[in-house]
Amino acid sequence: MVTAIVGAGIIGTTLAYELQKRGHQVLLIDRDAPGRGASYGNMASIAVTEFMPASRPSVWRQIPGWTLDPEGPVRVRPAYMPRLIPWFARFVAASRPSRLRALEAQGAALCARVHQDLGALLRETGLEGELTEEGCLSLYTDQAEFRADREHIEILERFGFDHHLLSGADARALEPELSDKIGMAVLFPQNRSLRDPYRLVTSLADRFTAMGGRIEKAEVAGFDRSNRITALRLTDGRSLLVDQVVLAAGAHTARLSKLLDEPMPLETERGYHTQIMSPGISMRHSIIWPARAFMVTPTAGGIRVGGTVEMAGLDAAPDYRRAKITVKRASEALPNLRCEDFTEWMGHRPALPDTVPVMSASARIPGVFYATGHGHLGVTYAATNARLMADLITGARPPIDMTPYRIDRF
């Protein structure tokens, strides 16, 4: 039996490894090399505390103001705004209090498994050294900023996620480069970082092929099916016979699911980063500053600065002013930061309006599965997604209820 996985990012590659380990013959297909999409430029954070639904009223009520601010944390390109109306309608619908509580629980159920599943994956592949020991510091100038983020902390307390309140002096004891502006912080010890997220993907791809898995650099143009999936049609004219297919192409998955008459409300939240190889400082922890909407992580041999969201679709050219905004804000927290020997990057994060991923068999076509919509938590969820999806695909019973993550919930 041949199982094709379309999408060789961290989600698809980790699942390919897991299925090959379980005895499937797996074909991993992507138009680029493994890990060259969003997995290449993510913020390298195992962000188990960041499962809150983005559709909270405290967020969406600010979106109109943010969109009018060229340096705001959310930017919608005017020409793309009409295309977003149906997505935003679902986004607002997901903000009902009862719905929010359910979505919080669904995200927490995944995040509660992350270190168990990731630890097992890293141990069996000999990649334990890719995960740092240090956590993440959330920064606040004063009590007012902390109160503005209190909703987040209360959700973590409700679900029992570890966190520690620190004074500004305590935070600077952990990270001496922090500005004196920082009056307090919260340490999230479980939000550890990867030393290089791209290297993790390529290392898993190497282990996948060493077990007999196959990687095909190609682009899927369509599908052949009778009562179930039978083949993939490629843009170069070839067809590949398959018995099953998993669509794990990140933000591009919606185009493929539409070809199977199974549309999903999947958008791209375009993210930017600046990778600084000569920052003039050293850091051990990652940092976030909620009021300034940026993150800084020591990774990939330097310091990576990212944050903010741009809604502009899959085809618009990058606007690297977004990357420069986050570097400017990071300099407020890290006054000695130098932006030298740097590169800028833009990637597509797959965003569903309720913030919960799709991890599901097709509701229409036997032999089709979906693993997408992991949003900002692709690298966080990768090992857990692989465990749960491999159980679904092989007929094993997953350790959690998978009903909330089905594709037909919309």
Q: Is residue 92 part of a domain?
A: no
Is 186 in the same domain as 261? no
Q: Is residue 116 part of a domain?
A: no
CATH code of the domain containing 303: 3.30.9.10
Is 240 in the same domain as 279? no
Cβ atoms of 399 and 389 within 8 Å: the answer is: no
Instruction: Bin 145: left if φ > 0, else alpha if -120 < ψ < 50, else beta.
Output: alpha
Strands (DSSP E) found in 256-321: 267-278, 286-289, 294-299, 302-311
Is 143 in the same domain as 62? yes
Q: Is residue 176 part of a domain?
A: yes
Is 175 in the same domain as 191? yes
Q: Is residue 46 part of a domain?
A: no
The token pair that represents 8 in the structure block: 């060789």
The pLDDT, as a whole number, for residue 221 is 97
CATH code of the domain containing 232: 3.50.50.60
pLDDT at 308 > cutoff 90: no
Q: Which of 301, 324, 350 is the last residue of a domain?
A: 350
Is 62 in the same domain as 135? yes
Is 182 in the same domain as 311? yes
Q: Is residue 205 part of a domain?
A: yes
Question: Helix, strand, coil proportions of the chain in percent (round to 5)?
Answer: 40, 25, 35
pLDDT grade for 78, boundaries at 50, 70 and 90: confident
Q: Which of 142, 238, 131 is nearest to 194 (CA)?
A: 131
Is 136 in the same domain as 191? yes
Question: Does 337 or 151 have the greater pLDDT score?
Answer: 337
Q: Which of 334, 350, 366 is the last residue of a domain?
A: 350
Mean per-residue pLDDT of the chain: 95
Domain that holds residue 223: 2-40+199-265+355-409
Cα(328)–Cα(334) distance, integer angstroms: 10
Q: Is residue 112 part of a domain?
A: no
Is 276 in the same domain as 260? no
pLDDT at 68 > cutoff 90: no
Cβ atoms of 393 and 246 within 8 Å: the answer is: yes
pLDDT at 5 > cutoff 70: yes
pLDDT tens string 321-363: 999 999 999 999 999 999 999 999 999 999 999 999 999 999 9
